[in-house]
Every structure is written in C-alpha cells, then in structure tokens.
Amino acid sequence: MGKLEGVLGWQSNGSDFEADGDEAFMPSTNTKEYALYLVEELSPTWGKFSLGLRAEQVKVKGDAFAAGFDSDNVAATSKRFTPFSASIGSLIYLSPTLKLTGHLARTQRAPKDYELRANGVHIASDAAELGTPTLATEKAWQADIGLGWAQGPHTAQLNYFQNRFDNYIGLIATGATHPTEDYDVYQFTAARAEFKGIEAVGDWRVIGQNGWLPSEGDAVWRMKWRADAVRATYLDSGLAVPRIPAARLGTTLLRESGPWHASLGVEYNAKPRRGENQAASSAYTLWNIYVSYRQKIASSQAIWFARVDNLTDALAYPATSILTTTAMDDASGRPKAPLPGRSFKLGLQLSF
C-alpha cells in the first residue's frame, strides 16, 4: 500500500482589537481560537493520497459600542462557533512526464470580529461599514482538478476549481447612506454563492542546455507564463460577486548568465465583471524590468539590483479594491486610489 505519514496537532490563537477616537468604527473585541487538526498522507507506487481534518472552537466577544450609527448593533455580544473542515486529495502519476491531481473539501470558517461588529465609518475603505451579529459559520464545498507536465527544465500546470458556498460572507453595498456623514453604507451579509475558475502556469527554457534552442555560451533564456480567470456569482440573484479579480494573462522573459540576471515582464488584466453597485474599471497592462548582479563580499553573498515597475506609467484601478468604488474624485469622476505609477528601485541585499 505504501508508507503512511501524518501529523496530529493543536493550535491556539488569541487576539485583542481596540480602536479609539474619531476613527473607531467598531467596539473593542477579544477573539480566542482553538483547533485540533490531523493530516495523513499515503504514498503508494501510483502517486499520493492525503486526508485532512480540522476541528475548531472560536469565541468572539465584543464590548458595547454606543458610538455606532446602527442602534441594532451597539449591545455587547459573545459569540461561539465550532467550525469543522475535512478534505481528501490525490496525486496520480499518469506517465513519467504527466501527473493528475484532485481535491475535495468541506470547509467551515467562523466570522471575523469586524464582520460581526463593524458599526461606523472605516477610514481605510472610505465607507460606513456595518457588521451582522447574527452571522453563522461560513460553509462551503470546494473541489479542484489539475494536470501537470514536466520534462527536463520545462514545466506546465493547468487547474480548474469550483467552490460552492452555503452562506458566503461578503461586504455588500446596501444603497443607504450614513445618517450624519456623507458615506455609503456597506454591510457584511451572507448568501449562497459559487466561485469557479481556471489557472495555468508554465516555465519553459527557450535557450540553453536542454532548451528549445542551443546556446553557444553559458546564458540561459527562460519564459515563465501565467493565466487565471474566476467567475463568482450569487446563486439566488444571479448577480456577480463584487470586487473579484479580473482575468489575467502574463509572461516574463528571463536571462541568466553567470552572476547576471535580467527579466522583462508584462501582465494584462481584463475588464472585470462588475457586481451590484460596483464602479466600472477598465482593462490595463503593466510592464516591469529587473536586473541584478551577484557577487561575494568577504564572507557575505551580495546581490545588487535595479527594478522598474509599471514601466509605461499606466493608469490602473484594481477591481478588488473597495476604494475603486467608494473613493471618487468629484472633479474628475475617477477613483482616488489607482495602482502605483512608474517606480524605480535600487538596492543591495546581503546574506551572511
């Protein structure tokens, strides 16, 4: 059958949150988490088989919060959750160069303190956030299947995943405004949702030993590429889940020769699928350049490097940020929080 190996563990975490003054958007909270987990892996001749189990107990206490704008969420609370998660996975060697992977999991997650007790203007999101004290443990079925290929220095991996939530917890615009301040209200709510998508990555040696093309010197040229897309939908309404990453396609060309390393990369982000009350954002493309030189200084290893990000100084707004919707400039009608423009970095990294 093969060798069975496993880990049995115990985990304990505790955290306290406190915000004072005008920027306090929720009460002081205390969170305690305890977990018992088991991971087992069997390694037969045809591949691997794994099993995982995790049982938790989470207690979230929140003080009274008289400063909250919603009177239904100002009393002190004490919530207890008992999430339980289980997963199975397998890896099957189809040939010396191909492998098939698959996983199936039933996962559960306790709500965070801010998802339960937020009740004020959150400066970081430029919105009035409202928690829901009655939120239950978030539950989901998750499955994925993948095909991997490797031959010499060349690798590629393709994965498909699908996650179905009984009660996905998300921050959703209510359409209301703060009673005394000019902020839109967003509330943490739970609804049935489905996430499905595809991911692909690869690393190919273009020039060099065992590459597609021979090299006369010691230089090695590689091409790394990646692509991913996800579609997230609320099952009851059919509406898109807001702030989900758009489809992306990117590649990086690398050259390595002795102590020198250089790369040129590009990533295209498509126009995202918009959720309800989500501001529109356009597709964008980002370029970057990186050069480094490795040398030994005394007994230390040194890497001198230079990097340029967003080479073309593209104006880009991330679909995943709530600020793309909430923080608008009245004069231009554009969001106030784009991704960083062109930037230069020079540095030295020492290892000793």
The reply to whether 76 falls in a domain is no
The reply to whether 310 falls in a domain is yes
The reply to whether 256 falls in a domain is yes
The reply to whether 251 falls in a domain is yes
Residue 158 has pLDDT above 90, yes or no: yes
Q: What's the rounded mean pLDDT across residues 132-160? A: 97
Q: What's the rounded mean pLDDT across residues 333-347? A: 93
Tokens representing residue 52 in the block: 């995982």
pLDDT, position 82: 98
Summarised one tens digit per residue, pLDDT across range 109-121 is: 999 999 999 999 9
Residue 268 sits in which domain range? 245-352
In this structure, of 64-73, 196-205, 284-293, the range with the lowest mean pLDDT score is 64-73
Q: Residues near 277 by Cβ (< 8 Å), separated by ≥ 6?
A: 172, 173, 175, 184, 242, 325
Residue 144 has pLDDT above 70, yes or no: yes
Q: What's the rounded mean pLDDT across residues 159-188? A: 95
Share of the chain above pLDDT 90, in %: 83
pLDDT, position 2: 56
pLDDT, position 12: 97
Summarised one tens digit per residue, pLDDT across range 202-230 is: 999 999 888 888 877 889 999 999 999 99
Q: What's the rounded mean pLDDT across residues 299-305? A: 92
Neighbour-count burial of 8, counting CB atoms closer than 10 A to its CB (0-12 exposed, 13-18 middle, 19+ buried): exposed
User: What is the residue type of 288?
Assistant: N
Q: What's the rounded mean pLDDT across residues 28-53? A: 96
Mean pLDDT of the chain: 94
Summarised one tens digit per residue, pLDDT across range 250-275 is: 999 999 999 999 999 999 999 999 99
Residue 22 has pLDDT above 80, yes or no: no
Summarised one tens digit per residue, pLDDT across range 122-138 is: 999 999 999 999 999 99
The reply to whether 278 falls in a domain is yes
Dihedral over Cα of 314, 319, 320, 322: its sign: positive
Q: State the DSSP H helix or E strand holding residue 326, giving kind and residue range, or none if neither.
A: helix 323-326
Q: What's the rounded mean pLDDT across residues 190-206? A: 97
Domain count, the chain: 1
The reply to whether 272 falls in a domain is yes
DSSP output for 157-220: EEEEEEEEEEEEEEEEEEEEE-SSSS-EEEEEEEEEEEEEEEEEEEEEEEESTTSSB--SSS-E
Residue 329 has pLDDT above 90, yes or no: no
Q: Answer for the pair 102, 94: CB distance below 8 angstroms, yes or no.
A: no
pLDDT, position 351: 87
The reply to whether 340 falls in a domain is yes
Summarised one tens digit per residue, pLDDT across range 1-20 is: 458 899 999 999 999 999 88
The reply to whether 21 falls in a domain is no
